[in-house]
Amino acid sequence: MAARHHPLVGGLLALFLALTGLIALPPAPAHAATPVCALVCDTLDPSKAQQDTFPVPNRTINGRTVRLHVSDPDSAAWASIDNGVAGDAVWLDRSWDRGATWEGLLGRASVPGSWTGTRTLMYNITDPVAHRRGWIRACGDAAGVTCTDWVYPKVCDGTSCDGADPATAAGDDTPVPATTLFGRTISLHVDQRGGMAWGVISGGGAGDEIWLDRSWDGGASHPEGSSLGRTSVSSGVTSTRTALFATRDPRGLLYGGAVRACGREAAHQEGSCTAWARPAPTRVRGAADALMASYQTNEGWWRSSWWNSAVALTSVIDFAEQSGRHDYDWVIARTYEQNRGVFPAGGRSSDPIEGHFISRAIDDAGWWAIAWLAAYDYTGDRRYLEEAVTITDYVHQYWDTRTCGGGVWWDRERTYKNAVTNGLYLWLTTSLHQRISGDTVWGARATTVADWYLASGMINSSGLVNDGITSGCANNGQTVWSYNQGLAIGAFTQLWRSTGSTRYLDTAERLADTAISSPALTRGGVLTESCDLGTASCDDNQKQFKGIFVRHLADLADATASTSYKAYITKQADSIWTNDRDALNRLGQRWSGAAPNVSDWRTQASALEALTAAGRLSG
């Protein structure tokens, strides 16, 4: 007679085996899989994987081999079972809360017919769009169930990984005030340079606890990062600290992670936490990480603003070139590949996108051409130069001498000739001439549009650029915006570089001198739009104007070695970092820090450009 096992013993054995990975307990019913798209989408065929590595040991069950396959360039995984028989099965489990619960049976596949093995489809390990960091493992069933270890349980940023000793930190900063609870002090400590953090509880007694929470969406949620490094105060001492934990997960495409320190007094259940904070290894890195936290990895842009995304991409490229860091190089190709196609109205813009980043808004296309020229300069990849030529050819179609003797129309309906479209066209034609060996066509167009621009009346008698010209071909007196001023400064600076004509450099300097001294654009030494004043608010387009101005002023500062331009740019960066930044390194619209102020990825990209320019000029 076969022995019978007590059900409690069997249950405890099953629990033990599950925790050690020898069998898999079923997932909680509420955790059904929601399809994830990051660099790839769930259920991609493994034959399309960019890499095949085996970061955790295989598991063997009844002679079968269960293996976890990972492609880091895709940030995805799949599972296989070998040496099996028909009916053996393999699948993936994926957890968003460090293995507490999981989505089970992902891609479950059974060995068919006379085969001896099979594999699942690919599934994402990470979900940067939803700000979730995942674990994943391979499981198999062959007259018994076994699972591999979870992959990537620790976050690593370069050589720094979760769990390191705070004694190895390169610095110790407390970015937010400590909190107190029943006489205990709970404090958050960060190594700014390394981007690592730890928590400390002091003034307490045995059994008191300290831990970190980590969030990938600025503190809105933290399922993967709750109670990290939870540690108790030992008997006979009054304080303790957690291990170090990272705030960036490059492997998981998660940047700008926020942390807070939390603690509990031994005799009470309630705890208390500090405010959330993000480390900032440098000004530009702190700003860039916070900007990239809003990047839509699956779609390859910053969602809901088309031309603004081109400017944000340009700011990331400028950051990479100035800082020498390659964290975000992948973003350039990702943005290009995901967006050069056709999109219906509402897909990327209120207008249809017709391919090659082109729509009825001529200026929108121009901003993308600037981004691809920046990408070409940084990477040397000629497809970006070719894309810029295609876009600028499109813009050129709207150069029209029949109205006002020249100028590019702002829209396909030919309703308005304005400063932004013509400033873009002048900068692009000049820049293409500089980059295309033996060019005569773009260079000739550049001098033609420059002469027209100077004669158009858009630059008023004070040396400020108004928004455009009337149907009667006169300055329309509309708002002076910093980006129009900046584009003209940059375009005439570049044209001087191409031709050597002091006429163009004199124009750039006049425009710059006026901008930094006129209350129309500068208040208290800080660049200020009209929508930055009083109770006014800037719309989503206007939020990015100032960064464009500073980018081009920095070009003029390089060309002239002007100490006054350099000092002005330094002033902008200092004011942003001192007055316009919160503990999460979010940078607002009003660089003076005046209220009311708002921040989003557009204001972040704009301020990043100013910080990058200041860093370049100080190097």
pLDDT in tens, 81-110: 999 999 999 999 999 999 999 999 999 999
Q: Is residue 584 part of a domain?
A: yes
The full 3-state SS of 464-500, as one line of letters, equals: CECCEECCCCCECCCCCCHHHHHHHHHHHHHHHHHHC
Q: Is 253 found in the same domain as 332? A: no
Q: Is residue 586 part of a domain?
A: yes
Q: What proportion of the chain, given as a percentage, has pLDDT over 70?
A: 95
Residue in the structure block whose two tokens are 């590949």: 337
Q: Is 265 found in the same domain as 167? A: yes
Tokens of 531: 């929508």
Compute the average pLDDT of residues 44-48: 98
579-607 pLDDT tens trace: 999 999 999 999 999 999 999 999 999 99
Q: Is residue 292 part of a domain?
A: no
The Cα–Cα gap between 578 and 563 comes to 22
Q: Is 264 found in the same domain as 195? A: yes
Q: Is 171 found in the same domain as 132? A: no
Q: Is 257 found in the same domain as 202? A: yes
Q: Is 265 found in the same domain as 191? A: yes
The Cα–Cα gap between 170 and 521 comes to 41
- Share the mean pLDDT of the chain: 94
Q: Is 129 found in the same domain as 73? A: yes
Boundary (domain end) residue, out of 351, 377, 395: 395
Q: Is 328 found in the same domain as 261? A: no
Tally the domains of the chain: 4
**pTM for the model:** 0.92
According to DSSP, the residues that pair with 346 across neighbouring strands are: none
Q: Is 122 found in the same domain as 165? A: no
Q: Is residue 513 part of a domain?
A: no
Boundary (domain end) residue, out of 345, 365, 395: 395
Q: Is residue 6 part of a domain?
A: no
The domain that holds 67 is classified in CATH as: 2.60.40
Domain residues for the domain of 84 are 31-153
Tokens of 538: 């800037």
- Predicted pLDDT of residue 33: 79
Q: Is residue 259 part of a domain?
A: yes
Q: Which residues of 456-466 are buried (b: 16+ CB within 10 A; e: fewer)?
A: bbbbeeebbbb
The Cα–Cα gap between 285 and 289 comes to 6
270-305 pLDDT tens trace: 999 999 999 999 999 999 999 999 999 999 999 998
Q: How many other C-beta atoms can be found within 10 angstroms of the C-beta atom of residue 263?
A: 31
Q: Is residue 544 part of a domain?
A: yes
Residue in the structure block whose two tokens are 């660089």: 591
Q: Is 258 found in the same domain as 161? A: yes
Boundary (domain end) residue, out of 153, 174, 208: 153
Q: Is 48 found in the same domain as 133? A: yes
Task: Tell me how many degrees the CA angle 38-55-19 measures, rounded to the nearest 5.
Answer: 95
Q: Report residue 31's pLDDT band, with 50, 70 and 90 as the boundaries.
A: low
Q: Is residue 103 part of a domain?
A: yes
Q: Is 265 found in the same domain as 240? A: yes
- Predicted pLDDT of residue 361: 97
Question: Sign (positive/negative) of CA torsion 326, 552, 557, 565?
Answer: negative
Res. 403: pLDDT tops 80 = yes
- Predicted pLDDT of residue 373: 98
Compute the average pLDDT of residues 459-480: 98
